[in-house]
Amino acid sequence: MNKLKRILRPLGIALAVIGVIVALGFVERTADRAPINDLDVTVEGAEGVHFIDEASVRREILDQGIAVMGSPTADVDITGIEERLKSIPCVAKAEVYHTMDGKLHARVQQRMPIVRVFNQDGNSFYIDKEGWTMPTSNNYTARVLVVTGQLNEPGAVNGVYSVYASDSLKQHCRSDDIHRLASFIAADPLWSALVDQVVVNADGEFELIPRVGVQRVLIGDGSALAERFEKLRIFYEKGIPKADWRRYARIDLRFADQIVCTKRTTL
Q: Which of 91, 110, 129 is the last residue of a domain?
A: 110
Q: Which of 57, 80, 110 is the last residue of a domain?
A: 110
**Which of 54-63, 102-111, 256-265 shows the highest mean pLDDT?**
102-111
pLDDT-wise least confident of 36-50, 78-92, 229-243: 229-243
Using pLDDT thresholds of 50, 70 and 90, give the confidence band for residue 26: very low
pLDDT beyond 70 at 130: yes
What residues contact residue 207 under an 8 Å CB cut-off, 6+ apart?
198, 199, 200, 201, 216, 217, 218, 219
Higher pLDDT among residues 73 and 108, named by residue = 108
**Within this chain, do residues 81 and 205 fall inside the same structural domain, yes or no?**
no
Q: What is residue 167's predicted lDDT score, i.e. its pLDDT? A: 64
Average model confidence (pLDDT) across the chain: 85
Higher pLDDT among residues 158 and 124, named by residue = 124
**Within this chain, do residues 246 and 150 fall inside the same structural domain, yes or no?**
yes
Element (H, E) at 196: strand 195-200
Q: Could you tell me the sign of the dihedral formed by the alpha carbons of 178, 180, 186, 190, in that order? A: negative
pLDDT beyond 70 at 49: yes
Using pLDDT thresholds of 50, 70 and 90, give the confidence band for residue 265: confident
**Within this chain, do residues 154 and 230 fall inside the same structural domain, yes or no?**
yes
What pTM was computed for the model? 0.82
pLDDT cut 70: percent of the chain above it: 81
**Within this chain, do residues 176 and 212 fall inside the same structural domain, yes or no?**
yes
Residue 47's domain comprises 38-110
How far is it, in rounded angstroms, from Cα 184 to Cα 116?
A: 15
Higher pLDDT among residues 235 and 9, named by residue = 235
**Which of 64-78, 114-128, 206-220 shows the highest mean pLDDT?**
114-128
Burial class (CB in 10 A: 0-12, 13-18, 19+), 129: middle
Using pLDDT thresholds of 50, 70 and 90, give the confidence band for residue 241: low
pLDDT cut 90: percent of the chain above it: 56
**Within this chain, do residues 247 and 190 fall inside the same structural domain, yes or no?**
yes
Q: How many domains does the chain have?
A: 2
pLDDT beyond 50 at 27: no
**Which of 7-11, 12-16, 58-62, 81-85 shows the highest mean pLDDT?**
81-85
**Within this chain, do residues 165 and 71 fall inside the same structural domain, yes or no?**
no
Q: What is residue 11's predicted lDDT score, i.e. its pLDDT? A: 53
How far is it, in rounded angstroms, from Cα 45 to Cα 111?
A: 7
How far is it, in rounded angstroms, from Cα 249 to Cα 41?
A: 52
